[in-house]
């Protein structure tokens, strides 16, 4: 088994998010706003400097600004094409695991759906701890392990055509309460609390599903490499599978929400 070096994984991901950025901003980010709202819910995070890591097109930044219009926020992301579509005033293209930011700069560090991409998530969490001021708060939302759902229809159609996506970063995923809590604790945080919620994404029809599903980086990368005929066949197969789907077109996903503190 060949293990990719973290730097290669990261570069590969940046390419995929660059391909996806325009569609992601339009079809995915608005659907993540309720998750951002939940993560930033009572008590609201501090308005003093806040950091959003893996900020993408700014779902968390938009919600944070709505809650606290005077908040001073910095958005960090690996992919300039994602940041270019963000409403954040202060944007920084950087790796979440080695932030070019001074120690103890922020009162809050937030991250939504970025942790699962990181080849060394505990090392990244340690860096987030480093930039937090003493007493500062961490809030993270990340995917939990999920039973099969509407999401997988796309992958099944892709596999049928023999064009399946490459696997994500190697290593043990932080996709259950215990491993996630242990990782956050071992990165130095105190008062670690993890809770699980279910997010649902509803689609009016096959077009809405296709727009959403192909706006994620893995799918965007695969589609960019497919000849037009194959792309058309893939879309038809996704359509056929959706036509055979029992019940409304809803994708259910388990999400873990973390709160912790730098003591
Ligand atoms: C699923 S998107 C989430 C974006 C945003 N937080 C949201 O909720 O819409 C994941 C983001 O993490 C970024 N990302 C992936 N690996 C990263 C890394 N090593 N350092 C910083 N950002 C990274 C990607 O560029 C992408 O914008």
What does the pLDDT look like over 199-244, one tens digit per residue?
999 999 999 999 999 999 999 999 999 999 999 999 999 999 999 9
Q: What is the Cα Rg of the chain in Å?
A: 18
113 alpha carbon to ligand 1 midpoint, in Å? 7
For residue 158, give every residue at least 6 positions away whose Cβ sits within 8 Å of its Cβ, in sequence order, or none: 164, 165, 222, 234
Cβ pair 115, 123 in contact under 8 A: no
Cβ pair 46, 24 in contact under 8 A: no
How high is the pLDDT of residue 170? 59
DSSP reduced 3-state for 165 = coil
How high is the pLDDT of residue 46? 81
Calculate mean pLDDT across residues 168-197.
Answer: 92
pLDDT at position 163 over 80 = no
How high is the pLDDT of residue 29? 98
pLDDT at position 3 over 80 = no
Distance (Å, rounded) from C-alpha 246 to C-alpha 234?
20
17 alpha carbon to ligand 1 midpoint, in Å? 8
Cβ pair 125, 189 in contact under 8 A: yes
CB within 6 Å of ligand 1 — which residues? 10, 13, 17, 29, 32, 54-57, 59-60, 77-79, 82, 95-97, 112-114, 117-118
Among residues 59, 126, 122, 52, the alpha carbon closest in space to that of 94 is found at: 52
Calculate mean pLDDT across residues 146-165.
Answer: 91
Q: Which atom of ligand 1 is nearest to the CA of 10?
A: 19
Strand order in 106-112's β-sheet? 90-93, 73-77, 50-53, 106-112, 132-143, 250-261, 190-202
> Best substitution site from 29, 114, 217 to test ligand 1's pocket, by max atoms within 8 Å of Cβ?
114
Cβ pair 123, 6 in contact under 8 A: no
Interval 4-62: pLDDT, tens: 456 777 899 999 999 999 999 999 999 999 999 999 998 888 878 999 999 999 999 99
> Best substitution site from 21, 37, 61, 117 to test ligand 1's pocket, by max atoms within 8 Å of Cβ?
117
Q: How many CA atoms lie within 13 A of 109 on its CB side?
A: 31
């Amino acid at each position: 088994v060949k293990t990719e070096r973290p730097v290669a994984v990261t570069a590969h991901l940046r390419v995929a998010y660059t391909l996806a950025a325009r569609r992601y901003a339009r079809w995915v980010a608005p659907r993540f706003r309720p998750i951002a709202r939940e993560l930033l819910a009572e008590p609201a995070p501090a308005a003093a400097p806040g950091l959003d890591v893996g900020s993408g097109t700014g779902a968390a930044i938009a919600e944070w600004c709505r809650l606290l219009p005077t908040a001073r926020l910095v958005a960090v992301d690996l992919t300039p094409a994602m940041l270019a579509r963000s409403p954040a005033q202060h944007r920084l293209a950087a790796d979440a695991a080695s932030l070019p930011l001074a120690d103890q700069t922020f009162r809050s560090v937030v991250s939504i759906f970025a942790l699962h991409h990181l080849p060394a998530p505990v090392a990244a969490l340690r860096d987030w701890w480093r930039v937090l001021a003493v007493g500062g708060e961490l809030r993270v939302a990340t995917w939990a392990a999920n039973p099969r759902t509407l999401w997988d229809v796309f992958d099944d159609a892709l596999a049928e055509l023999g064009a399946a996506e490459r696997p994500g970063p190697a290593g043990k995923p932080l996709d259950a309460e215990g491993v996630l809590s242990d990782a956050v604790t071992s990165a130095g945080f105190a008062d670690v609390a993890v809770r699980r919620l279910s997010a649902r994404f509803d689609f009016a029809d096959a077009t809405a599903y296709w727009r959403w599903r192909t706006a994620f980086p893995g799918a965007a990368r695969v589609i960019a490499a497919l000849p037009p005929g194959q792309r058309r066949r893939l879309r038809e197969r996704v359509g056929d599978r959706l036509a055979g789907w029992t019940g409304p077109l809803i994708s259910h996903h388990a999400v873990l929400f973390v709160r912790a503190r730098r003591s």
